[in-house]
C-alpha cells in the first residue's frame, strides 16, 4: 500500500503543466508529433481540470497495429466492420454533425446499441472540430478482435490461405458449436507458447454431467499469502492455458473476428485487438449503475442519500449479482466461471482449515497464525449470493441443480451495498459495469478481473481499490489484515480480545487503512473518473483516429 501511494503520487507529479511540456512528453514517449488538434484538446483538459494529461500509453498501444495500414485501408476497415460484422454499430461524423446508425437495419434507430449512443454523447462537445470519420462501435460487452500471430507478423497472408479461410465465418453472429473463443485466442499466442503447442484438450465428463476437465479448488488454489498487483496486465493465458477454464472470457457465444478491424469496445482481455473506450455504464446515469443518482430529481449528488457512516457499516465481504460470467460455447464450463467460483467458495461448508494471519494484540506488529475451518470463516466474514439465474439452461442439471449448488438471495438495489465496508467487484459477461459506482461510495472495493479498460493507466491498485487474484485464495487474509481475526480465530490463539464485542475493542490499524482505501477510491472517482475525464479520453482518441484515417498523415501532425 505504501508503494502504491508512492507510485501514484509520482505519477501525478509527472503530468505536464503546459502545452509545450505536453508536446515534448508526447514526442519522448511515442517518437512522433502529437495529432492535429492537440492544442484544442489541451485547452479542453485545462478548462475541465483533467489531471491525467500524459497517460495514454494504453490508447497508443491499441492503435499501434493500424499504422501498418494506409489511411484508405483504415477508413474502409472501419466502415466494413459495421457493414459486414454482427453486433457492430457505426457512429458517423459528417460536416461537424454526428449520428449513430446500424447499417444493417438502416431505418430502425432502436437497433442502435447503448454503447454507440453513449459514444455519440461523449463526442458531443467537440464533434464540430473533427473531420469526417466513421467509428465502428462494438454493441457487445465482450472483446471481438483476435488476430492470429501469423497475421500480425506476416501481413501478406490472404483469405486464400488456411488461416485466411477463417474470414468466411465472421458474418455468423455466434459460434453455433463451430469453434470457441479459446480456440481463436490460442492463435493469438506465439507458435512456441504452451497454448499453441498443446493439442486442443477434450473434456472428461463426471457422473453428474459437470465437466471435470479442470477443478480450480484442487489444481489452482494459489498460496494464501500471495497478493496480486494487477491481474489484468500480468497474467498470461498463452503461458498458462489450463487456467482459461476459470474465466468466462473464453466462453462467449459471440464470434470473434480473426482480422484487424478498428472496433471500439468498452473492455478487452490481454491479447485482444479492440480499441478501448469508456463504458456507457460509467458515462451514463442510471439507478442501477450510478452512485448517488437521484432518479426523481434527475441529478447526480455528491453523497448517496442511503450512504451509511463508516462506523455503522458491517465488515463482511458483500456481493450480490446475477450469475453472468460467460456464454455457452462450449457448454459445461459455467461452474468454473469467475462469479460461480466465488459464490461457491464463499458459501462452502467444508471443515477443511485455512490459515489466516492477523495482529494480536490488535494494531500491534505482532502477527499470529490460526487455522480455522472454511465453514467458520465463511459464516463470519462472507455475505455472498446470486440474485438471479440467467444461465441455468446451460448449467449441468438445470435450475434445480444450480439452486442446490449455489446460494441465491433476494435482489439488491445499488444502495443496499453501502451498508458494507467491503464491496466485491467481479467480472460479469465481460467487465463489471458497477465498478465506478462502487468506487464512488464510502466503501472499499475488492476487485478481481482480467479486463483492460480505458482508465487502466490512471488508477492504482492497493491505493484506490484492493486487487484480488483470479484464484481468490488470499481473500481470507485480505480480510484478516484489515479487520483482524474472526471470533474462532481469536479463540484458537487465545487472544486477549476474545469475547470482547467489536464495538468495544480498540480501533484497528487495519480498519483505518481500509477506510483510507475507500476514501482514496472515492476521491479518484470524483477527480479522475468523471464524465469529463472520459470525454477527454475520447477526444484524444478521436484526434489519433483522424490522423490514422488521413491519406497524408504528415499533414495531420500538430507542431508548435
Q: Which residues pair with 358 in a beta bridge?
A: 368
Q: How much is the average pLDDT of 54-81?
A: 96
pLDDT of residue 296: 87
Residue 11 domain flag: no
Distance CA(399)–CA(514), nearest Å, equals 38
Q: Are residues 259 and 345 in the same domain?
A: no
- The per-residue pLDDT of the chain, averaged, comes to 89
Distance of alpha carbon 258 from alpha carbon 145, whole angstroms: 6
Using CA atoms, how far residue 159 sits from 20, 72, 75, 154, 386, in Å, is: 46, 20, 20, 13, 45
**Is 201 inside a domain boundary?**
yes
- Given this model, what pLDDT does residue 364 score? 87
- When pLDDT is averaged across residues 29-45 and rounded to a whole number, the result is 98
Joined together, the cell numbers standing for residue 12 give: 501525478
DSSP 528: T
Sign of CA dihedral 94, 96, 102, 107: negative
Contact 453, 429 (CB under 8 A): no
Is pLDDT at 170 greater than 70 in this prediction?
no
Residue 290 located in a structural domain:
no
What is the spatial distance between Cα 275 and Cα 147, in angstroms, rounded to a whole number? Answer: 13
Average pLDDT over residues 85-101: 95
Q: What is the DSSP secondary structure assignment for residue 128, as one 8-state letter? A: G
Alpha helices in 247-334 (DSSP H): 280-283
243 has a pLDDT exceeding 80: yes
The predicted structure's pLDDT at residue 236? 86
Over residues 441-452, mean pLDDT: 96
Instruction: Looking at the structure, tell me whether residues 356 and 479 fall in a common domain.
Output: yes
Q: Does 293 fall in a domain? A: no
The CA distance from 415 to 412, in Å, is: 8
Residue that is written with C-alpha cell 489531471 in the block: 51
Residues 250, 343, single domain; the answer is no
| Res 208: pLDDT | 33
Higher local confidence (pLDDT), 285 or 217? 285
542 and 519 in a common domain: no
Q: Is residue 285 part of a domain?
A: no
Using alpha carbons, list the distances in angstroms from residue 142 to 137, 178, 217, 280, 406. Answer: 12, 18, 26, 14, 25
Residue 447, beta-bridge partner list: 425, 467
Return all residues near 108 (Cβ < 8 A) that are at least 6 apart.
102
- Would you state the pLDDT for residue 58? 96
> Which range has the worst mean pLDDT, 136-150, 390-404, 470-484, 512-526?
390-404
Q: How confident is the model at residue 391 (pLDDT cuts 50, 70, 90)?
A: confident
Question: Which residue range forms the structural domain that includes residue 446?
Answer: 298-530
pLDDT at residue 108, as a whole number: 52
- Give yes or no for a contact between 98 and 127, defined as CB atoms under 8 angstroms apart: yes
Domain-located, residue 221? yes
Q: How far apart are CA 468 and CA 456, in angstroms?
A: 16
Q: Is a pLDDT exceeding 80 seen at residue 85? A: yes
The total domain count for the chain is 2
Q: What is the pLDDT of residue 216?
A: 37
Does 101 share its domain with 214?
Answer: yes
The more confidently predicted of residues 147 and 391 is 147
Label residue 205 by pLDDT band (50, 70, 90).
very low
Query: Is the same domain home to 445 and 354?
Result: yes
CATH number at residue 364: 3.40.50
Taking the CA atoms of 15, 17, 18 and 20 in sequence, report the sign of the dihedral they define: negative
User: Residue 79 has what pLDDT?
Assistant: 95
**Same domain, yes or no, for 369 and 243?**
no
Within this chain, do residues 199 and 314 fall inside the same structural domain, yes or no?
no
Say yes or no: 245 and 328 in one domain: no
Query: Confidence band (pLDDT; 50, 70, 90) for 393?
Result: confident
Residue with cell 469526417: 132
* Same domain as 420, residue 525: yes
pLDDT of residue 223: 61
pLDDT at 163 over 60: no
Is 83 among the domain residues?
A: yes
Let me know whether 320 and 450 are in one domain: yes
Q: What pTM does this model have? A: 0.93
Paired with 211 in beta bridges are: 205
Identify any residues that bridge with 320 across adjacent strands, giving them in sequence order: 385
- DSSP assignment string, 17-62: -SHHHHHHHHHHHHSSPPBTTHHHHHHHHHHTT-S-SS--HHHHHH
pLDDT class of 135 with cuts at 50, 70, 90:
very high
What are 323's three cell numbers?
Answer: 450469475
Same domain, 253 and 302: no
* pLDDT for 229: 81
Cell numbers 443518482: residue:
293
Q: Please tell me the distance from the alpha carbon of residue 272 to that of residue 189, in angstroms, as a whole number.
A: 11
Residue 505 has pLDDT above 80, yes or no: no
Query: Among 223, 216, 403, 221, which residue's Cα sits nearest to residue 323?
Result: 403
User: Does residue 51 lie in a domain region?
Assistant: no
Amino acid at each position: 500500500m505504501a508503494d502504491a501511494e508512492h507510485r501514484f503520487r509520482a505519477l501525478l507529479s509527472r503530468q505536464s503543466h503546459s502545452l509545450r511540456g505536453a508536446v515534448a512528453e508526447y514526442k519522448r514517449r511515442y517518437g512522433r508529433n502529437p495529432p492535429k488538434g492537440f492544442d484544442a484538446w489541451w485547452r479542453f483538459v485545462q478548462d475541465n481540470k483533467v489531471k491525467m494529461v500524459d497517460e495514454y500509453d494504453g490508447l497508443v498501444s491499441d492503435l499501434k497495429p493500424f499504422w501498418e495500414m494506409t489511411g484508405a485501408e483504415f477508413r474502409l476497415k472501419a466502415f466494413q466492420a459495421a457493414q459486414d460484422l454482427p453486433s457492430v454499430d457505426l457512429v458517423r461524423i459528417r460536416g461537424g454533425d454526428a449520428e449513430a446508425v446500424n447499417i444493417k437495419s438502416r431505418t430502425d434507430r432502436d437497433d442502435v446499441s447503448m454503447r454507440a449512443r453513449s459514444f455519440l454523447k461523449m463526442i458531443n462537445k467537440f464533434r464540430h472540430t473533427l473531420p469526417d470519420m466513421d467509428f465502428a462501435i462494438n454493441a457487445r460487452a465482450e472483446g471481438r478482435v483476435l488476430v492470429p500471430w501469423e497475421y500480425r507478423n506476416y501481413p501478406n497472408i490472404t483469405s486464400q490461405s488456411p488461416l485466411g479461410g477463417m474470414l468466411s465465418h465472421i458474418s455468423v453472429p455466434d459460434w453455433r458449436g463451430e469453434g470457441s473463443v479459446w480456440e481463436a485466442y490460442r492463435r493469438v499466442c506465439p507458435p512456441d507458447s504452451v497454448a499453441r503447442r498443446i493439442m486442443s484438450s477434450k473434456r472428461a465428463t463426471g457422473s453428474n454431467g459437470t465437466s471435470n476437465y479442470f477443478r480450480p479448488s484442487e489444481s489452482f488454489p494459489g498460496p494464501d499469502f500471495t497478493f496480486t498487483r494487477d491481474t489484468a496486465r500480468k497474467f498470461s493465458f498463452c503461458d498458462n492455458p489450463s487456467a482459461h477454464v476459470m474465466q468466462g472470457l473464453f466462453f462467449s457465444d459471440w464470434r470473434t473476428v480473426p482480422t484487424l478491424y478498428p472496433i471500439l469496445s468498452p473492455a478487452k482481455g490481454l491479447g485482444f485487438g479492440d480499441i478501448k473506450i469508456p463504458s456507457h455504464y460509467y458515462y451514463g446515469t442510471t439507478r442501477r449503475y450510478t452512485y448517488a443518482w437521484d432518479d426523481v430529481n434527475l441529478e447526480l449528488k455528491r453523497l448517496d442519500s442511503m450512504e451509511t457512516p463508516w462506523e455503522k457499516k458491517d465488515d463482511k465481504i458483500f456481493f450480490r449479482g446475477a450469475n453472468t460470467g460467460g456464454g455457452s460455447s462450449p457448454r459445461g464450463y459455467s461452474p468454473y466461471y469467475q462469479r460461480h467460483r466465488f459464490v461457491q467458495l464463499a458459501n462452502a461448508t467444508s471443515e477443511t482449515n485455512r490459515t489466516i494471519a492477523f495482529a494480536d494484540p490488535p494494531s500491534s506488529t505482532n502477527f499470529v497464525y490460526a487455522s480455522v475451518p472454511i465453514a467458520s470463516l465463511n459464516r463470519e466474514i462472507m455475505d455472498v449470493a446470486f440474485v438471479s439465474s440467467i444461465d441455468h439452461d446451460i448449467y449441468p442439471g438445470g435450475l434445480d441443480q444450480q439452486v442446490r449448488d449455489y446460494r441465491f438471495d433476494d435482489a439488491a438495489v445499488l444502495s443496499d451495498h453501502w451498508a458494507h465496508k467491503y464491496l466485491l467487484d467481479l467480472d460479469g459477461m465481460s467487465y463489471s459495469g458497477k465498478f465506478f459506482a462502487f468506487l464512488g461510495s464510502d466503501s472499499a472495493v475488492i476487485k478481481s478481473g482480467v479486463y483492460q479498460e480505458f482508465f487502466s493507466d490512471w488508477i492504482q491498485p492497493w491505493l484506490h481499490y484492493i486487487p484480488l487474484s483470479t484464484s481468490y485464495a488470499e481473500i481470507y487474509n485480505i480480510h484478516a489484515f484489515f479487520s483482524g481475526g474472526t471470533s474462532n480465530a481469536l479463540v484458537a490463539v487465545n487472544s486477549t480480545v476474545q469475547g470482547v464485542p467489536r464495538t468495544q475493542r480498540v480501533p484497528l490499524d487495519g480498519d483505518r487503512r481500509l477506510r483510507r482505501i475507500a476514501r482514496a477510491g472515492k476521491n479518484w472517482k470524483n477527480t479522475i473518473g468523471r464524465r469529463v475525464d472520459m470525454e477527454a479520453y475520447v477526444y484524444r482518441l478521436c484526434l489519433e483516429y483522424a490522423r490514422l484515417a488521413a491519406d497524408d498523415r504528415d499533414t495531420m501532425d500538430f507542431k508548435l
